[in-house]
Structure 1
Amino acid sequence: MKVYHPLLLLMLTFAGCSLRAQMPSNKNISFTISLDSALASYEQWVYMWHYEGNDFTVDDSTFVKKGQKEITLYAHADEERWFNFLFSKKGPIDWYTILGPNTVATVALSITDSAINPSKKIEGASAHNENLCNVQRKYELNSQMRDLAAQLSVPALSANKKDSIQHAIESLGQQLDAISLETVLHSPSTYNTYGSLMKLKSKISRDSLVTLCRIAQKRFPADKKIERLLHNQRTVASPESEQSKALAARMNKIKQRRLNEELMSGEPSVPSQQTKVKDIGKISLKSDNGKQIVVGELKGEYVLIDFWASWCIPCLEGLPYIRQAKEICGDKLTVCMISMDKNLNTWKENIKKQKLDAFINLNVYDESGKMNEGVQALGIDAIPYNVLLDSQHRIVATDLHKKALLDKLYEWMK
């Protein structure tokens, strides 16, 4: 057993009291962010906010002066809850964290961190860090499940192969549920425990749910959410106030501007479908290794041109099917992935992350953030969007995704 000197205990107690004493009297959460030199070069507002029922609440905001390398925002919470952070010019656009009463949290932020939601551990925010770890574990399992779902969609699979893949999918699903169960049984966070109970609610019997709620209550006897779940009680939130609507609209306007600036080029024109496909072969873009590639010069019995972005969830869900398409067709199919990511570093990172190294990878933006005029003229108003060309670069199909893409290619390959 460790024995602490009384003076050391007194110093530790004083240090904790001192940190809490620095907070405004009506606050019990302190969140300090250290900014690197590049991020500190922007003058901007930083907002901390959350939803209370249906009402949007801004907990704190601060103006960051040029060269200022540290900011602190404050909030109050009676229980652990979800807080969001928004930087008005550069930095996180929708950074969410889990913070609770009497939290003194600190984190270092770099301009190279994700523009949307940095996946960073936060000192002093154990619930956030536990959730971040679980999210990363679940991401890997869900990625494997998407790959298997794409394999299951390949035409003419044998019954044994289908059964094998289905069994693997079920096994991954059980591993996902095991993470939630582990959280319910052992997590020190009431927020994460309740969230995991809600994930398991539809998958287990009422008796099993009651048992898990009672186990959780031994750690959190005063938690009202778990109590309501145990007794199957519903809460009805009051309608959103006009003040909340105005605040939410203001924040959403800033978020949309940031997204347009950093992820896309604004509102493209929307010409006809015929215009889209007519000029696609003339497009010339730089690849991830710096080579200039003309789409019309790509060789292959079939050429798949797929427009995607790392921030586009439907695009990411479709990538395993494109990898399967290449498996089906082999050298007969050339795959060209054209990214709409404005951040070139993010694009290159996701080529590896999404296993796209075997494909031709191009980007519609140059180093200055200007979109290629040829792509802009296509007027692609939504992604994922793709075009399938034959060996003469004639359009044979557009917007073929997931199973429809695999079915069509398999039909042509027979």
Structure 2
Amino acid sequence: MYRSLIILFCIVICSCKQGNLSTIAITLEREKYGKAEGKWLYLYAIDGNEYLIVDSCMVKNLQCKLRSNLPDELPYYLLVPATENQYEFWMKPGDHLNVSLTSEITRSRLSIPGTLTNMAHCRLEDAIEKQTKIWLSLKDSLAKTNIQNPIYKILEDSIHRVDVYRRQKLLIEMLDDKYIRQSPHVSDLIVMFLDTDGYPSEQLDSIRQVLLERFPNNHYRMHNCTGESVSPASDRSIATVNRILHIMGFPPIEKRKKTTTCLPDNYITPKAYQKGDIINIHLFDTLETKTASLAAINSPYILLDFWASWCSPCCDEIPNILKIKEAYPDLLSVYAVSLDYWEDVWQEALDKYEIRTSFSHVMLPKSHKQYQYIIDIFAINAIPANILLDKKRRIISFNLHGDALAEKIKELANSDIEASLHLIKEK
């Protein structure tokens, strides 16, 4: 009886947890996204004003599945390798979405049925885009007349005032849209647009009051209605997401100190290493945050493992690498190259995953020029990534994960044994 109750209790607890777990199944069209096959796809979100890395997975057969377990309905950003867009959408806890990205999708905001705020965003964006096209068409028509007369300026000002009036009227009408009526975030965004357009303050206050009554339980997210300021995103969250954006070739999130994300004009991109190349074993020697020099490692093979504490697939791969290294302690060494931005987070991860003494470690510098050089010379465009080196520090293989890495090390071990036996026979 008690055992049955315990089992039932566990099932209820698990089902409650699964209720908040959101999943996104993604199918990519080969014509546009074929280059993404075998590469890592990332998902991050903005909670309030903080950037959070949610999940990542490898694209296999042009499909992948992402999971999130965040507490609120949040804006998500999907980073697909070999594309120019970050795809934005909204999702709430418990949503399970199937997204098909095709060559026809060019907009950065995905219109996904079933995500309330996302649909509200899209409807507002479409309405504003339509209104903007009307204004631009009028402006272009006026410019083509080439009127060299003071009346031209008066006419232009009149068209601009009409445009502002029509835009404000449109925004107010959108507050009663069937989707926006249910979305506190988009309603709050409309208030910001009205305020920016100079809508009369008394009338705007009335609209704020109506919206606060409409969404009594969501005031903590309605900063434009409540007048509460949003604290700026922390340097930690910006720096972490910028590292993902950087290695995948996306522009960085603006930082207060632009010098940390800008390369000097005299930067020359190095030629990337290819299979068969012998690498510079002193490449990491100038970096302060390292536990050992790569040049000091004498094992027959070295795995250069590029990872970060925020990269869940990287961390998932650690037990597999540990197991392989323990099976071949005299054959393989691991030199873990961290792309973390903050040293304390990196140090915590070394203890958390119990790899402080199992691997040799180095953390890439905050200096954007040094960081960029190492990323470029090893051709890192996503993590986890690894490079297997032989005794001459020649590149044998790129990006061996899971069973593929285990099979390769076993093959090398067997070939070394055969070579040793052959030498003994010759003697």
TM-score normalised by structure 1 residue count: 0.48
